[in-house]
Amino acid sequence: MRLVLIGAPAAGKGTQARKLIDRFQLAYISTGDMLREEVSRGTELGNKAKSVMASGGLVSDELIIAIVNERIKQDDCKNGFILDGFPRTTVQAEKLDEMVKLDKAVYINAPDDIMLERITARETCPKCGASYNKISLPSKKAGICDVCGEGLTQRKDDTLEAGKARLATFHEQSEPLVEYYKKQGILFEVDGMLGVEEVSKAIIAELEA
Ligand code: AP5
Ligand code: MG
């Protein structure tokens, strides 16, 4: 099964992807996580991406398409994969269609004001990538990852200002993908305002249907 997850910043793409990979034994590919890894390692790509990401813009199509094209050829993707945060532009979607045939595009729909609240309350594990929320999904021990015990951190782009810019970028550049996949007949839309478990139940039911 080959899936893409579309949704505004903080809609719950990463949260849902982690549930779906366990259920369906899929490889997990988050372009945001891959870029953050490059930034933290200080690679050439990371240095190019750093300021763009912090300001809430998008890394160039050319760069990100090359990364994904390499990643989906790896062995762990043979059984299928979930792409979280790719494609984000129509150019990326068209290139992806040239690479593989997708089974489903899941759109997690959620309103901007609530997403801003989620962004500023999010805590992330820098080691295993688990995502928490001080309001809706706190870790059992404050500031510590439930999964691996690492200290939780806040993403550099999880400020109010960068959050607003990321939402604007989403509406301008990524939201047209909803129509793109609707036309292909593979779009499944889910209400991102439901609880985490309800969202995953709805997606799993659709994928198993
Ligand atoms: P990326 O890392 O993909 O960030 P994003 O799209 O802004 O999405 P987030 O990771 O913020 O949110 P999410 O939907 O994963 O939500 P989460 O599950 O964590 O990209 C970062 C940057 O990299 C981009 O801005 C861009 O610069 C660059 N980039 C990446 N891909 C690119 C591409 N293809 N092209 C160009 N540039 C690219 O949940 C959020 C919070 O809400 C958490 O605290 C969580 O606990 C909570 N939560 C989740 N679900 C629920 C729920 N149902 N109810 C209540 N709380 C919930
Ligand atoms: Mg994410």
pLDDT at 129 over 90: no
The closest alpha carbon to 11, from 119, 110, 138, belongs to: 110
Chain segment 62-72, per-residue pLDDT in tens: 999 999 999 99
| Residue 30 β-bridge partners | 84
HSE-up (13 A, CA, CB side) for residue 132 = 21
CA of 101 to the centre of ligand 2 (A): 23
How confident is residue 2, by pLDDT bands cut at 50, 70 and 90? very high
HSE of 133, CA atoms in CB hemisphere, 13 A: 17
pLDDT class of 128 with cuts at 50, 70, 90: confident
pLDDT tens per residue across span 52-109: 999 999 999 999 999 999 999 999 999 999 999 999 999 999 999 999 999 999 999 9
Contact 88/174 with Cβ under 8 angstroms?
yes
Q: What is the pLDDT of residue 66?
A: 94
| Partners of 105 in beta bridges | 4, 187
Between helix 176-184 and helix 90-99 the angle, nearest 10°, is 30
pLDDT of 126 reads: 85
13 lines ligand 1 (CB under 6 A): yes
Which atom of ligand 1 is nearest the CA belonging to 137? 46
Give the pLDDT of residue 72: 95
pLDDT of residue 136: 86
Q: Which of 109, 133, 159 to mutate to test the pocket of ligand 1 (most atoms within 8 A of CB)?
A: 133
Assess whether pLDDT exceeds 90 at residue 127.
no
Q: Tell me if 199 sits within 8 A of 191, measured CB to CB.
A: yes
